[in-house]
Amino acid sequence: MKVLIPSPLLSYTAQREVEASGATLAAVLDELDRQFPGIRFRMIDEQERMRRHVRFFVNGDQVFDLSQPLRPTDEVVIVQALSGG
């Protein structure tokens, strides 16, 4: 499926849009990490929690659960939350 990458993670993917497969959001992130080593830990901590300033949207709806089932036709958008300083 199509996964849109936010600008802070382009250093890993070098492209805004990548392809990854998986039956759940967690599986898609695992696949992303295989393609782009290290990218998952920047978004998901060691306790499998989404990091505070990273958001996930599937087909336009925000997802809070890594076990969210996904279909091959879904579109995943990873967004950096607004924060700064």
* Choices 18-26, 59-67, 68-76, 77-85 (CB under 8 A): range interacting with another protein: 77-85
The DSSP secondary-structure symbol of 81 reads P
State which of residues 14, 15, 46, 71 lies at the interface with another protein (CB under 8 A): 46
Contact 17, 78 (CB under 8 A): no
State which of residues 41, 59, 62, 69 lies at the interface with another protein (CB under 8 A): 41
Separation in Å, CA 24 to CA 10, 12, 42, 71? 23, 21, 19, 8
Please give the residue ranges that form the binding site for another protein (CB under 8 A): 6, 8-9, 37-38, 41-49, 51, 53-54, 80-81, 83-85
